[in-house]
Amino acid sequence: MLGKSNTAMLHGLECIMCNVECEVADGLPVFNMVGYLSSEVKEAKDRILSAVRQLGFQLPAKKITMNISPGYIQKRGTGYDLACAIALLQAFEIIKCAFINELFFVGELSLTGDIKAVNGVLPMLIEAKKKGMRYFVVSSENYEESRRLEGIYVFPAKHLKDAISMLMCDSLCTALKDGYFLLSDNKCRYNEIIKPDNEADFSYIKGQKFLKRACEVAASGMHNLLMIGPPGTGKSLVAKAIGTILPDLSEGEALDVASIYSIAGLFNGSEIAVKRPYRSPHHSITMAGLVGGGNPIRPGEISLSNHGVLFLDELPEFKKQTLEVLRQPLEERRIRITRANGTYDFPADFSLVAAMNPCPCGYYPDLNRCMCSKTKIDNYLNHISGPLLNRIDLCVEVPEIAFKDMESAEKCETSADIRKRVTKTINIQKKRYIDRPYNYNSQLSAEDMQIYCKLEGELYSYMEKIYEKMKLGARAYHRILKVSRTIADMEGHEKIEKEDLNEALLYRGIMDRYWSDKK
């Protein structure tokens, strides 16, 4: 007798549908599990047999062969337990289910038969739904996460006996009538579960008008931003506040973010976030922690900040080798991790916001307080390479706040006020790029730049002189044009105008003043 069931496996963010087959035959009593399995998958046989015994079933001594296909890729994790148990019970003819091919199973079994939650359920269900599946059996602990998809039926099983009881139904119609499956309503209340611990607001920031303008430009086009200034000037507070002026995630983006957090085991099981992710790792983070890795492979901070903000405070304090791994993701918006057992792809479509001091002590160029030598300053700045700087769109100096600004009674703009303008600018971009695979000016392809960032006449000649004077490379030039396009959208200009270009050049010029030897 042959038993079958459907499940899925995670390979990075990609989900691959899997088929479980179980054959029971005469022969020497043995339980073999095949299909390129890791040790934790092979250990499932002990959990399954114990769970079945707890239900009172006595399995005869037979030769059991369990196969999980496809066999070309290694399976890891404990999410196959439930599917394997169902296939085994079918093979012994304990259950006979005519609609088994329409069901999808995922869950870990305890020795007593309880069905435990597993990470990555949401992306598994998304992939299974694409393949035409509509009926899912998951742990009751994964139910809140599972019901986020529209148009599927979910059975939140607490125990293996619950799943067996459902499979004893004559048909799916009977199972639905008996209330085993619940239809996902897609009326979830989006909750702000992914946000800074202490959410800031731009109204808290006194003065710093130039910095606030740069933040608005960066948010309006999802550009990368570097802030340079002495300690205590509000750089970290501003970085937290940037998340409050970004528009909410779209439904598709929210599912993308929730899928990544589900794989990482950070989805809290209540609601999908509407606020964009904000991640701020410590400067002691490893390369694997930043870009992803480990065993099993898990998404890193750049993937956890997908569709949101990655804030790197004290940028030169990060290991240089760690910072260099950002170069490719910043350009390609994805990270590919290659290991002996396969290649894993994770999204990395984030906006980089970084902050740093101008020197080790933090007070350069105030020579009354700064005692750093030129060599020390150069070594400090050299922690950030030229290629990485080339991928930063805007650089802004953050001066110390004057006493009169600190004590000023003038009301500052709130994040809500700025957010309205940012949302309006982003909507302009989404409408413009409606038939493109991207939404923001920072993602413009080289081909489309010839259409939307084209300089003509006097502006072309003006930029040609600037290009030669500043010794700009192709990447730096393109990023200046992308920032100019964003500023033009903010100002309501159909084409890039001279003032738009000059503002973008100003942000680039600040960077060149600090790293003039890196041109």
Mean pLDDT of the region 428-446: 93
Q: Looking at the structure, do residues 274 and 384 belong to the same domain, yes or no?
A: yes
Taking residues 63-77, what's their average pLDDT? 94
φ, ψ at 244 (rounded to 5°): -85, -10
The stretch 3-26 carries a mean pLDDT of 93
Q: ω before 296 within 30° of 0 (cis)?
A: yes
| Residue at a domain's end among 431, 459, 483 | 431
Asked if 80 contacts 141 with a C-beta cutoff of 8 angstroms, the reply is: no
- Give 190-204 pLDDT, tens digit per residue: 443 444 444 688 988
Give me the CATH number covering residue 63.
3.30.230.10
Q: Find the mean pLDDT for residues 469-480.
A: 92
Residues 44 and 135 in one domain: yes
Flag whether 470 is in a domain. Answer: no
Which of 116, 52, 61 has its CA nearest to residue 90?
52
Q: For 479, what's the count of Cα atoms within 13 Å in the CB-facing half-sphere?
A: 24
| Residues 344, 208 share a domain | yes
CA separation, residue 282 to residues 156, 318, 400, 432, 470 (Å): 38, 8, 24, 38, 34
pLDDT at 164 over 90: yes
CATH number at 311 reads 3.40.50.300
- Cis peptide before 365, with omega less than 30 degrees from 0? yes
With contact defined as beta carbons under 8 Å apart, do 4 and 101 qualify?
Answer: yes
Residue 394's pLDDT band (boundaries 50, 70, 90)?
A: very high
The answer to whether 390 and 473 have CB atoms below 8 angstroms apart is yes
Domain presence at residue 321: yes
Among 177-181, 482-486, 509-513, which stretch is predicted with the lowest mean pLDDT? 509-513
The average pLDDT across 19-25 equals 96
Q: DSSP code of 171?
A: S
Residue 227 lies in a domain: yes
| pLDDT at position 350 over 90 | yes
SS3 labels along 439-453: CCHHHCCHHHHHHHC
Q: What is the pLDDT of residue 268?
A: 66
Q: Are residues 143 and 259 in the same domain?
A: no
Contact between residue 422 and residue 216 where contact means Cβ atoms under 8 Å apart: yes
User: How many whole angstroms separate alpha carbon 383 and alpha carbon 328?
Assistant: 18
Closest CA to 262 of 469, 117, 58: 117
**What is the rounded distance in angstroms from the CA atom of residue 401 to the CA atom of residue 412?**
14
In a domain, 376, yes or no: yes
Peptide bond into 230 cis (omega under 30): no
Model confidence over 236-249: pLDDT tens digits? 999 999 999 999 99
In a domain, 511, yes or no: no
Assess whether 380 and 283 both reside in one domain: yes
Write the pLDDT tens digit of every residue in 270-289.
555 678 999 999 999 999 99
Q: What is the mean pLDDT of the chain?
A: 90
Per-residue model confidence (pLDDT) at position 353: 97
Alpha helices by DSSP H, listed for 225-319, are 235-242, 251-263, 287-291, 301-304
273 and 406 co-located in one domain: yes
Mean pLDDT value across residues 220-230: 96
Tell me what the mean pLDDT of segment 291-307 comes to: 90
- Domain hosting residue 113, numbered range: 2-183
Q: How many residues does the chain have?
A: 519
Q: Which tens digits make up the pLDDT trace of 128-141? A: 999 999 999 999 99
| DSSP H/E element including 189 | none
Asked if 105 and 179 sit in the same domain, the reply is yes
Residue 213 and residue 173 in one domain: no
Task: Decide if 91 is inside a domain.
Answer: yes
Residues 104 and 10 in one domain: yes
195 CB neighbour count, 10 Å cutoff: 18
Question: Does residue 60 have a cis peptide bond before it, meaning omega lies within 30 degrees of 0?
Answer: no
* Rounded CA separation 163/156 (Å): 9
Q: Is the pLDDT of residue 269 over 60?
A: no
- Is the residue at 155 inside a domain? yes
φ and ψ at 199, to 5 degrees?
-65, 130
Coil, helix or strand for 363?
coil
Asked if residue 437 has pLDDT above 60, the reply is yes
Domain boundary among 133, 151, 183: 183
Among 121, 148, 183, give the residue marking a domain's end: 183
Q: Is 354 contained in some domain?
A: yes
Q: Tell me the pLDDT tens digit for each residue of 140-162.
A: 999 988 888 888 999 999 999 99
Number of domains in the chain: 2
- Dist CA 305 CA 323 (whole Å): 16
Mean pLDDT of 424-453: 93
Do 232 and 153 fall within a single domain? no
List C-alpha distances in Å: 194 to 125, 277, 426, 478. Answer: 22, 5, 21, 32
Report pLDDT for 195. Answer: 43
Residue 286 belongs to what H/E stretch? none
Residue 518 has pLDDT above 50, yes or no: no
Tokens at 238, concatenated: 């501003």
pLDDT at 84: 97
What tokens does 228 get? Answer: 């340079």
Angle between helices 121-130 and 251-263 (to 10 degrees): 130
Q: What is the mean pLDDT of residues 170-185?
A: 91
Task: Report residue 17 as tokens.
Answer: 């549908």
Q: What is the pTM of this model?
A: 0.89
Average pLDDT (222-244) is 93
> Does 148 share its domain with 276?
no
The verdict on 254 and 397 lying in the same domain is: yes
How much is the pLDDT for 342? 77
Give percent of the chain with pLDDT exceeding 90. Answer: 72
